[in-house]
Amino acid sequence: MPVRPARCYKGVDKPAYTRNEYIDGVPQPKITKFVMGNVKGEYEYRVLLKALEAAQVRHNALEAARIASHKYLSKVVGEDKFLLIVRVYPHQVLRENKMMAFAGADRLQEGMRRAFGKPIGLAARLYPGSIVAEVRVGKQHIEAAKEAMRRFKDKIGIPATVEIVEISKVPS
C-alpha cells in the first residue's frame, strides 16, 4: 500500500490553528492562483464541487487539483471559454512533532515532552456542503466541466459530489 502522508492531517477533530501573526515559520500556501480562465466571459452554467464530509485538504493537494483541472479545461474547452474558481483557502496551520527513527536516536529526542510541533504546511477546512471549486461554462461544455471537477475531486481525496446550477439572467 502506498504511503499517504496527508492521512494524519485529514481530520477536523483538533481546534483551529490559524492565527499566523502569532506563529513563527508558517509556510506560504502552494496554491498560486484561485481564479483561472476568462473572467469577463458570459456563462450559462456553474458546475460546483461540493464536499460530502468534514475534512482538511492540504494546500499541495489543492494546487495539484487546480493544475489538473485547469490543464484539462484548457486543452478540451479552450482558455477563453471557461472560468475555474478554487473557492477554499488554506488557513489551517499543520504542525508536526518530528521524531528521529533510527538506532541511537533515543538520546536526541524528547518523545512526548513538549510535543507541540513546528509548522509544516497549510490546509483548508471543509464541511459537508461546502463548495470546494466551481467552473463556469456555456451549455456545450458542461460534460468537459464535469470531467474537470471529477479530476479535481480525485486529487483532493475526499468524498464530493458534482452539482450543475443554471446561472439566471438578471433583468436590467
Mean pLDDT of all residues belonging to the chain: 88
Length of the chain: 172
Residue 139 has pLDDT above 80, yes or no: yes
138: in domain: yes
111: in domain: no
What phi and psi, each to the nearest 5 degrees, are found at residue 149?
A: -70, -35
What pTM, to 2 d.p., does this model score? 0.86
91/138 Cα distance (integer angstroms): 32
* Total number of domains in the chain: 1
107: in domain: no
108: in domain: no
2: in domain: no
18: in domain: no
121/27 Cα distance (integer angstroms): 6
Residue 12 has pLDDT above 90, yes or no: no
What phi and psi, each to the nearest 5 degrees, are found at residue 126?
A: -120, 145
Q: The domain containing residue 131 runs over which residues?
A: 28-94+116-166
Under the phi-then-psi rule, with left for phi > 0, alpha for psi from -120 to 50, and beta for the rest, what region is 93?
beta
